[in-house]
């Protein structure tokens, strides 16, 4: 009887919410979109690289308003929006464009759990595109600019008794501004997609002590069987200590302590290595100890893996994983969804693309001019997937020169544009530093906003010397960084070679197959080449892969096929945009992919 009453109460609470929300528009949708409950949206812990026991999800139905730029706080709102889906997306329930002449306003209320009493409350945003202002109980608590990284505010001084009021204002110029935006444009067509404005990752609360762990940075040292852990502490005083336990399963295999501010170097006996074939992760417990008492503790993890390069017996510079030559092969992954745009409808959906990529026999993903939520990188870590991480492109192109080796042209950016790029690239690297799956940083792609290439490349390499830097994927090329990256469509081609850097094929393929009933657009669908059925597409893919296989011995050390899924008007994915159809024969693709990957060993 008690269970029945609980269920009835739950339904009575949820039915009004369901009646206020439904996906907008008639575009294709994924299967996951059909089961979204607006009262329970993306409810998984949003920061798995540094996890605390308590938190509260604020995702759900909020009020929204679109108003002219510079207007005062709205006195009336336009309706409901499902956070964290961008206002232009179907799953937001709104599906309206904003533009740089308008601002997007949000309003909601929340309560702070009673058992958080005595602690500070942090308000976290996974990502908001692009410039954000936040008010709590009519007091402005802060601002943030940047569309791809998490940020937070300690809102404790602004809290009242009872419900708390939260108002957010967002402005996003899309391609009318110089900020990083990836493939978003105001007039999407071809390889360019719908704008994404506002909140697009989880909003959440977290109780913390004033003295707390703010950040953890882990760096494996495979050659010395050790890992370095550096914890950043807020409000630390002399005498505070950080203690770290390293676990293999449930067993503690190493322990170390250090004064706050000092790195902790931990040696591991016979460490288990991480690779796509064996993605072993060590768990860690990090404690902050002050005056003999634990004042904060978090859970995290790391992997023992090394990415490097070395000349092989034939004199070819090769990528190495864990000190062994290792061919990296994977798809160009845009990370877009027909229903959520930048935001996967569920965590299961977010994980699905990685699982499918492994099913196709790949060991790597190039995350193309987009940054994902933290859980995507966690899934790559746990499933075993190498990641090349692009910087989202911005500003404008300066003319693509993919075959000009030494002196490709560069864009002269404004001072504001440079400042924005440098700030956001550093924040992205800081955000993602401790995820072991990431092995390559890619500052520029095909002359899209490319500027001061040598300087940016050297800064990136110095800021993180433990990963490779692919300075200009596809050009414009300069003799800098670790990688010479070629793009060629549709078939692979080794048209340039660098004896002192790793040479890779950063994009090729793009074999198109439009499938009726699974298309974003009814006309003007686009691929580099197009075929009529799965058999033809698979045969063409296998033909290109066999060509690539011959080029591995000749000098390629990695390759990226375009692409994981169809996206809007592009129909060149392994899967349809709604993820409902595999467009190629999986077993045949996997077989030839494994042949390409193993070509170095044969």
Q: What is the CATH number of the domain that holds 179?
A: 2.60.120.260
Asked if residue 482 and residue 337 are part of one domain, the reply reads yes
- What percentage of the chain exceeds 90 in pLDDT? 92
User: Which band of pLDDT confidence, cut at 50, 70 and 90, is reported for residue 16?
Assistant: low
Please tell me the chain's helix, strand, coil percentages from 3-state DSSP, rounded to the nearest 5: 20, 35, 45
Asked if residue 497 and residue 451 are part of one domain, the reply reads yes
Residue-wise pLDDT for 71-105, tens only, equals 999 999 999 999 999 999 999 999 999 999 999 99
Domain of 276, CATH number, reads 2.60.40.10
In degrees, to the nearest 5, what angle opens at C-alpha 144 toward C-alphas 141 and 150? 105
Q: How far apart are CA 58 and CA 344, in angstroms?
A: 17
* Per-residue pLDDT, 17: 52
In sequence order, what are the beta bridge partners of 302?
282
Asked if residue 293 and residue 404 are part of one domain, the reply reads no
Asked if residue 239 and residue 163 are part of one domain, the reply reads no
| Paired tokens of 353 | 């693309």
Q: Which of 287, 302, 317 is the last residue of a domain?
A: 302
Asked if residue 583 and residue 464 are part of one domain, the reply reads yes
**H or E stretch covering 199:** strand 198-199
The residue among 407 and 445 whose pLDDT is bigger is 445
- What percentage of the chain exceeds 70 in pLDDT? 97
Asked if residue 487 and residue 390 are part of one domain, the reply reads yes
SS3 257: strand
* Per-residue pLDDT, 2: 46
Asked if residue 479 and residue 333 are part of one domain, the reply reads yes
Side-chain-facing half-sphere of 197: CA atoms under 13 Å: 31
User: Which band of pLDDT confidence, cut at 50, 70 and 90, is reported for residue 436?
Assistant: very high
SS (H, E, C) 565-589: ECECCECCCCECCCCCCECCCHHHH
**pLDDT tops 90 at residue 601:** no
Q: In what order do the strands lie in the sheet with 120-125?
A: 56-57, 203-208, 120-125, 151-154
CA 524 to chain centre: 29
SS3 425: helix
Domain extent for 270 = 216-302
Asked if residue 232 and residue 196 are part of one domain, the reply reads no
Neighbours of 517 (CB within 10 A): 9
Asked if residue 259 and residue 175 are part of one domain, the reply reads no
pLDDT averaged over the chain? Answer: 95
Contact 501, 483 (CB under 8 A): yes
Q: How far apart are CA 207 and CA 154, in angstroms?
A: 10
- The structure tokens 């409350």 sit at 121
SS3 347: helix
Asked if residue 234 and residue 191 are part of one domain, the reply reads no
**539 burial type by CB count under 10 A (0-12 exposed, 13-18 middle, 19+ buried):** middle
DSSP 37-54: BTTBSS-S-S-TTSB-S-
**496 burial type by CB count under 10 A (0-12 exposed, 13-18 middle, 19+ buried):** middle
Structural domains of the chain, count? 3
Which whole number is the average pLDDT over 136-145? 98
Asked if residue 109 and residue 255 are part of one domain, the reply reads no
Residue-wise pLDDT for 495-533, tens only, equals 999 999 999 999 999 999 999 999 998 887 888 888 999
User: Which band of pLDDT confidence, cut at 50, 70 and 90, is reported for residue 13?
Assistant: very low
Asked if residue 291 and residue 312 are part of one domain, the reply reads no
């Amino acid at each position: 009887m008690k269970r029945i009453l609980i269920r009835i109460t739950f339904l009575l609470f949820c039915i009004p919410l369901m009646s206020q929300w439904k996906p907008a528009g008639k575009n294709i949708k994924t299967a996951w979109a059909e089961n979204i409950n607006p009262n329970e949206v993306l409810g998984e812990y949003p920061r798995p690289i540094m996890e605390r026991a308590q938190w509260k999800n604020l995702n759900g139905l909020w009020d929204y308003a679109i108003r002219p730029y510079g207007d005062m706080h709205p006195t009336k709102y336009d309706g409901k929006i499902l956070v964290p889906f961008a206002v232009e997306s179907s799953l937001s329930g709104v599906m309206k464009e904003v533009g740089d002449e308008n601002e997007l306003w949000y309003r909601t209320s929340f309560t702070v759990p009673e058992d958080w009493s005595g602690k500070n409350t942090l308000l976290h945003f996974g990502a908001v595109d692009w410039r954000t202002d936040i008010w709590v109980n009519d007091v402005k608590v802060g601002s943030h600019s940047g569309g791809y990284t998490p940020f937070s505010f300690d809102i404790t001084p602004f809290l009242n008794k009872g419900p708390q009021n939260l108002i957010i204002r967002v402005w996003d110029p899309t391609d009318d501004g110089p900020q990083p935006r990836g493939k978003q444009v105001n007039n999407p067509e071809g390889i360019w997609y719908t704008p994404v404005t506002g909140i697009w990752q989880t909003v959440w609360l977290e109780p913390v002590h004033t003295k707390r762990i703010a950040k953890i940075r882990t760096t494996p040292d495979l050659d010395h069987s050790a890992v370095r852990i550096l914890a950043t502490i807020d409000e630390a005083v002399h005498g505070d200590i950080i203690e770290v336990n390293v676990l293999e399963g449930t067993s503690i295999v190493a322990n170390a302590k250090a004064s706050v501010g000092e790195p902790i170097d931990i040696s591991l006996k016979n460490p288990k290595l991480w690779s796509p074939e064996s993605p072993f992760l060590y768990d860690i417990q990090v404690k902050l100890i002050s005056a003999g008492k634990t004042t904060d503790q978090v859970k995290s993890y790391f992997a023992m893996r090394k990415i490097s390069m070395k000349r092989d017996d034939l004199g070819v510079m090769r990528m190495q994983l864990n000190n062994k030559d290792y061919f990296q092969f994977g798809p160009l992954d845009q990370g877009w969804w027909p229903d959520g745009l930048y935001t996967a409808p569920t965590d299961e959906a977010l994980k699905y693309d990685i699982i499918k990529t492994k099913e196709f026999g790949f060991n790597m993903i190039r995350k193309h001019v987009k940054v994902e939520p933290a859980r995507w990188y966690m899934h790559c870590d746990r499933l075993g997937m190498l990641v090349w991480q692009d910087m989202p492109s911005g500003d404008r192109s300066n003319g693509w020169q993919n075959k000009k080796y030494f002196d490709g042209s560069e864009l002269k950016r404004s001072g504001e544009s440079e400042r924005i790029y440098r700030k956001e690239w550093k924040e992205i690297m800081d955000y993602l530093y401790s995820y072991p799956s990431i092995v390559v940083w890619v500052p520029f792609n095909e002359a899209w906003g490319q500027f001061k290439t040598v300087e940016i490349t050297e800064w990136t390499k110095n800021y993180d010397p433990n990963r490779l830097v692919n300075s200009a994927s596809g050009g414009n090329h300069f003799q800098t960084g670790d990688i010479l990256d070629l793009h060629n469509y549709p078939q692979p081609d080794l048209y340039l070679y660098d004896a002192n850097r790793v040479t890779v094929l950063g994009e090729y393929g793009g074999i198109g197959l439009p499938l009726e009933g699974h298309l974003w657009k009814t006309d003007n669908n686009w691929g580099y080449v197009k075929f009529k059925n799965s058999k033809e597409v698979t045969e063409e893919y296998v033909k290109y892969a066999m060509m690539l296989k011959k080029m591995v011995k000749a000098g390629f050390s990695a390759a990226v096929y375009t692409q994981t899924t169809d996206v809007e008007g592009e129909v060149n994915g392994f899967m349809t945009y709604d993820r409902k159809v595999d467009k190629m024969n999986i077993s045949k693709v996997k077989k030839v992919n494994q042949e390409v990957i193993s070509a170095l060993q044969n």
